[in-house]
Chains A and B, each alone.
Chain A
């Protein structure tokens, strides 16, 4: 167990979507072995004790897989460490006396619900526009009758590890969702099961993405650099290629 450390927090507070927000400063005693969210738990208990409103933030599994936690910490989604979500970021990544600025994901497509919590329904709508294989329950053939080269399965898996947290959008200067869309398109276009619908899928998903108000891609690579699951930028190249092919074929 490590020593206690004092953290000065500057946290974005916003009552709801219709009000404007501002920063509040707090001071918290933390331990280096705490996760960043546990530090927020301590802050919230402190606030409740003082009769103030605790900070609303999204979190659930706290093991880096549900994709719910979403804090921009000192200007970086999920904080300074590479390849981790906010819930897996530990206070040992900070120093005693540090001032830490915490903001929500900011993007028109992700309206703020309250404080650090945002609405990522746009991602669900993108998936529902085409991010699936149209196969009804009961109509599947034996699993081993579809042979898939290990390398293909691995590439598809790598793309499929996306947790839909939205860090890519929040990191991108254009608030673009192409890493998210690219990951799903890559997963399904790599696999034989997904090839049947690859053209209609990519066009539908890109249309939905545009309609939701995400920006275009400038290939700065910020999304991939900040992705907690380290989804590679190549999925965007795949997305582009799939889209142009579909368009060439008149989809």
Chain B
């Protein structure tokens, strides 16, 4: 199979403009006769569904949650990037493009990323028009802050709830179309099979999670906006329900998975506190604007953090990366934390944590500024801290509250304890420039696809990509496919392909329900997660990955013998839903290990212990691996790998340095 990314010819900065002006259109009358299925209602799904419906298409949207407003995009905290240059600090589309490519460690496509940077500005306009209450300055203009891996302030935010506000904006737009009858919303529905007719995606089999009924839905095209698969690690910052199932069914039906091992481990999460832990909570990257990360200089220092004097603290990020300091990209910050903890400098009861300390900036940066503003001369330390606290509260109040709620410690008084956790997956379904997978008519948007973030995603770029894909990319690119489909009449769902797909799904569910073994689904998921985290997590080695593959195979075998799913298949049965998802994770996990094993270099979030510099920095191999690996499913956990070369015509590949 030859992978064709179908990037338009021409000058990088003109590609998208020219593409838009020349892509075939579907006239309004024909749009009304075309059905589009959108699976998932996060930023990508909700924005795509609403925009396509506004254009006149008939849309059916699906989500497994009880309401489309609950998709996990809602939990994104820090912000969304856009090359607006409102801060007059020299930002531009090119700079955002460049930062994203570099941040992704030169493993993403120039064409896609440039388009992303171009439309970033439209996103902010669109969201503001919808009534998204972004943070503002006293003059009424929009406020910005900095995020990791950049030296400009281009991140727009709404306190620590940016994802929520953006998603609610997209959700309102979606609900508006529901009200107008252009979108039919199916909540508490899960896609469990892709239906293909004559090689093209023509529908899905969805399970009504309340009644257990299997439903057939036809669409001229199917859009998967189903998010990432970080939950393969069991513990992650993803929602409990986040899963790979829809994407995996597509994968097993012909869509290629690209770079599945590219996982983002986020450096600032609340550490694990016990074996019962069900998920990890992120503390936004924006905190690194004002928080300084450190560990004691002495090993096994058991003093309380506030008792450790300044000179006995190791601000290791500032020490190792003076240019970017605490704002190095996520992969680098995560690995540095792991390095310190592995070397025995970790803090907290588990010793697997580092401090994120706000005292300094609370006092020196905000306290002093506020004191000057209020005309307090020679303020004492206590006054400075008090003044600074107010400003910190305004910026990060909800995050500090959340931290206190979970840990029972007050971060205004003692430094936060943080540790890296799985957060985002850069890998995903392989798509071309038009976001189409290798199955005609099947598209993947947002985190579900692989295209824009390379081997590491920069902070505040996930929201940007989700909304870019949904609001501004797919509405154009899908026209290229649908303009050829205007003569296709809706295919009745008693078509053989629908029947077969439904029977397959039914059979699978029957099998799962029939096992009636001894172990809970959760216990398998937990065990898989541990294998993945230990051997395919922040650091990977050939030996570990090979072991992991064998362990996953054995675990999968055991799962199909010993799992116990209570209840029945024709009722609301969350255990059955979970079992289906874990079954898919058990296959995906193996593929991730194969991918990690196949990529003999370290880049971005993918760190192979065999490939590092003497200082412990990632060592890329640009000669052999400036490419995308896309895996084709050959049935029964067999894959064939395909290669898409990445051509850098505008950016010179360099060693990524944040020093």
Residues of A within 8 A of B (CB): 1, 15-16, 31, 33-35, 37-38, 41-42, 44-45, 47-49, 51-54, 56, 58-68, 83-84, 88, 90, 92, 113-114, 117, 119-121, 123-124, 127-144, 146-150, 153-154, 156-157, 160-161, 163-164, 187-188, 191, 193-194
B276 contact from A42, A148, A154, Cβ within 8 A: A42
In the complex, A44→B406 CA distance in Å?
22
The answer to whether B137 has its CB under 8 Å from any CB of chain A is yes
The answer to whether B523 has its CB under 8 Å from any CB of chain A is yes
In the complex, A143→B74 CA distance in Å?
22
Q: Is the interface of A mostly helix, strand, loop or mixed?
A: loop
Which A residue sits closest to B124, measured CB to CB?
Answer: A143
The residues of B that contact A113 with a CB separation of less than 8 Å are 210, 572
Query: A226 to nearest B CB, angstroms?
Result: 16
- Residues facing A in B155-192 (CB within 8 A) are 158-159, 161, 163-165, 168, 171-173, 175-176, 178-179, 185, 187
The residues of B that contact A114 with a CB separation of less than 8 Å are 571-572
Q: Does A160 contact B168, Cβ atoms closer than 8 Å?
A: yes
In the complex, A81→B596 CA distance in Å?
45
Q: Does B69 contact A124, Cβ atoms closer than 8 Å?
A: yes
Q: Does B137 contact A150, Cβ atoms closer than 8 Å?
A: yes
The answer to whether B575 has its CB under 8 Å from any CB of chain A is yes
Q: List 5 A-B contacts (CB under 8 A).
A: A44-B520, A63-B237, A66-B75, A132-B176, A153-B133
Q: Does A124 contact B137, Cβ atoms closer than 8 Å?
A: no
Q: Does B66 contact A119, Cβ atoms closer than 8 Å?
A: yes
Q: Does A150 contact B72, Cβ atoms closer than 8 Å?
A: no
Q: Which of B72, B159, B408, B566 has the most CB of A within 10 A?
A: B566
In the complex, A163→B70 CA distance in Å?
8
Query: B618 to nearest A CB, angstroms?
Result: 30
Stretch at the interface among B1-9, B93-101, B277-285: B277-285
In the complex, A48→B523 CA distance in Å?
11
The answer to whether B129 has its CB under 8 Å from any CB of chain A is yes
Q: Does A67 contact B522, Cβ atoms closer than 8 Å?
A: no
Number of CB contacts from chain A to chain B under 8 A: 227
Q: Does B240 contact A120, Cβ atoms closer than 8 Å?
A: no
Q: Does B141 contact A147, Cβ atoms closer than 8 Å?
A: yes
In the complex, A33→B272 CA distance in Å?
11
Q: Does A144 contact B187, Cβ atoms closer than 8 Å?
A: no
In the complex, A49→B517 CA distance in Å?
10
Interface string of B299-333 (1 = CB under 8 A from A): 00000000000000000000000000000000000
Q: Does B472 contact A137, Cβ atoms closer than 8 Å?
A: yes
A60 contact from B72, B173, B276, Cβ within 8 A: B72
Query: A56 to nearest B CB, angstroms?
Result: 6
The answer to whether B274 has its CB under 8 Å from any CB of chain A is yes
**Told that A35-B278, A114-B572, A161-B164 touch, could you supply 10 new A-B pairs with CB distance under 8 A?**
A31-B276, A48-B566, A53-B567, A62-B279, A63-B75, A64-B405, A132-B176, A137-B471, A143-B128, A193-B128
In the complex, A191→B172 CA distance in Å?
15
Interface string of B70-100 (1 = CB under 8 A from A): 1010110000000010100000000000000
The residues of A that contact B125 with a CB separation of less than 8 Å are 140-143
A137 contact from B50, B165, B520, Cβ within 8 A: B50
B130 contact from A45, A128, A133, Cβ within 8 A: A133
Q: Which of A124, A139, A150 has the most CB of B within 10 A?
A: A124
By Cβ-Cβ distance, the 8 closest A-B pairs, closest first, are: A147-B140, A132-B172, A140-B129, A128-B175, A128-B179, A157-B133, A140-B125, A143-B128
In the complex, A123→B133 CA distance in Å?
21
Query: B638 to nearest A CB, angstroms?
Result: 33
Q: Does B140 contact A150, Cβ atoms closer than 8 Å?
A: yes
